Structures are given as C-alpha cells and as structure tokens.
Amino acid sequence: MGISKQRIQRICLIDSAIQSLHKPTKEIIRIHVCRGLSLSDDGLCKSTIEKDLFFMKAEFDAPIECNRTNNEYSYSDPDYNFSHAFLRYWSAYLILPNAINEIIYAD
C-alpha cells in the first residue's frame, strides 16, 4: 500500500502530538497538525485525522488508545517508537521485493 508525502507528514505530527502533549484530544491533535503544516487552524477535517489514526493502527501497529470519556489519545505502550515502526514498514516494501527477486533469479 502506498503512502503519500502529505500523509507521512501528518502522521509524524500526530505522533508528535501524542508523544509530547499530555493526552491530547482529536481537536488538539488536528490543530497541532495544521500548525505543523503551516495551515490555518481549520485547514484539516476531523475525518482526515481519524483516517490517519486508523492508518497508524492498521499499518504501523501503533498502540493508540482513546479515552472515550474525555476523548483523549495516548499510546498504551509508553515504549512505542513510531520511527522504528515506520522503518519496519518501509523495509518490507523496499528490501523484501529485492530479496525475493534475488532468490527467484539466482543462477
């Protein structure tokens, strides 16, 4: 599955918000991402943030939890490292196909 440069930027900013802000709400995350991308505070829809949060869980196994009472987001695993997950994600797309080609086309 491909991932756009804009989505990568948003996800990095979402991770930054979850890591550095104390249990931010979706609205605080959205504003943090807008400001990080130099957009006006209403420059992104909440649904875009929701889709990116879902993508982070699905593709990067991000242990994102939402406290439904306060709608606050956090990582359930304090040792979770988005950078490591991101590198694992890309290595599967960049390294594995080359390794398979080497095995298939080996003399």
The per-residue pLDDT for 102 is 55
Statement: residue 106 has pLDDT above 80? no
∠ at Cα 32 (29, 38), nearest 5°?
140
pTM of the model: 0.79
pLDDT (average), residues 70-78: 92
What's the distance, CA 23 to chain centroid?
Answer: 16
pLDDT digits (tens, 9 = 90+) for 6-34: 998 999 999 999 999 989 999 999 999 99
pLDDT at 66 over 70: yes
